[in-house]
Amino acid sequence: MDHIPACMPVDTEPPLAPNGDPIWDVNALLEGNVFTRHTDPFLPERVARILEEVTIGASLSDVEREQINALLAEFADCFALSVGKVRHADKAVHQLNIPADTKFNVKPRQRPLTPPQCQYLNAKIDKMLEAGIIVQVHPSQVKAVSPTTLAQKAHEGASLTLQELQHRVNDECECTGMASAFELPPRPEGVPPEHQPVAPQKWRICQNFNEVNKVTEVAPMPQGDIRAKQRRLSGHRYLSVFDFAAGFHALEIDEVSQPYTAFYVEGRSYFWYIRMPFGLTGMPSSFSYMMG
């Protein structure tokens, strides 16, 4: 690469590929130099962005907050700031177990989408192409075409503020004769509960793989003893959970199975997944195996 982009600081030394060529992180150049998980996960600017994205509860002490920030900074390489930075899990491949000679519909049966949905879908398609989650394919290659569904994400839109939720918890405590759970100022009289501002509408993009799912043989996924798991969780003040960013996309789709994951986008032709999408039966088994 002969040309150094003007936005790259002259004193920045990029990592080198095996052949000695410099590797320029385009996302980092265009987005304030923070999308560097693959090249420099502990870049101070990137760590600062991660800390900005994390909300720490007000009930923690200053010392506890400092400890959490230090922990986040220590493991900054575990966080993905964009879907393009979700890493592929080594040897994690999902294969569709479809009986031989099964024929599927290959004509688009897409329900009309609203203009905001179309705009959102096309923007996401661009991001998934850039991230290597999907690829555009010729119509003759597809073996099944599934319609696209845009499902509203949970907890999106208007909601009560945290303080109002805490007031309501206190109300329930008082009704049962318990002490209030939170120390709060009195509610202003005659003022309706404050709501959070309405955020821009977002959807979860899924393909309706119903036709493929009907004939796919699914591997078992034992859930274990649920009651025993609940007993292990009881009695603790803090419970830790992990939200795997675009977790399914960490698994690859077997090359033989990819033609069965195709979908159609108006004006842009056909695509199929090379990373595991949402909506395919049997995915939890593969995901559970990967996590184990």
pLDDT given at position 33 = 62
Would you give per-residue pLDDT tens digits along the chain (292 residues)?
333 333 333 333 444 444 454 443 444 444 456 667 667 778 888 888 888 888 888 888 889 889 989 998 898 888 877 766 666 666 778 788 898 889 998 888 888 888 889 999 999 999 889 888 899 999 999 999 999 988 876 655 556 778 888 889 999 988 888 998 998 888 776 555 555 455 667 788 888 999 999 998 887 777 788 899 888 888 887 777 777 666 667 788 889 999 999 999 998 999 999 988 888 887 777 777 666 6
* Residue 174, both tokens: 């008082």
Backbone angles phi, psi at 64, to 5 degrees: -65, -40
Domain boundaries, the chain: 1-81, 89-156+201-292, 158-198
pLDDT given at position 203 = 84
How many angstroms separate the Cα of 200 from the Cα of each of 82, 125, 195?
18, 18, 15
pLDDT given at position 121 = 92
* Residue 280, both tokens: 């395919």
Distance CA 52, CA 210 (A): 40
Question: In terms of DSSP H, where are the helices of the chain?
Answer: 26-30, 44-53, 62-74, 115-131, 162-175, 210-215, 226-233, 283-291
Residue 255: partners with Cβ closer than 8 Å, 6 or more residues away: none
Distance CA 154, CA 140 (A): 37
Q: Say which CATH topology domain 89-156+201-292 has.
A: HIV Type 1 Reverse Transcriptase; Chain A, domain 1 (3.10.10)
Q: What is the pTM of this model?
A: 0.61
Q: Give the number of C-alpha atoms closer than 13 A to the C-alpha of residue 32, restricted to the C-beta side.
A: 8
* Residue 142, both tokens: 């597809």
Comparing CA positions, the residue from 198, 212, 292 lying closest to residue 253 is: 212
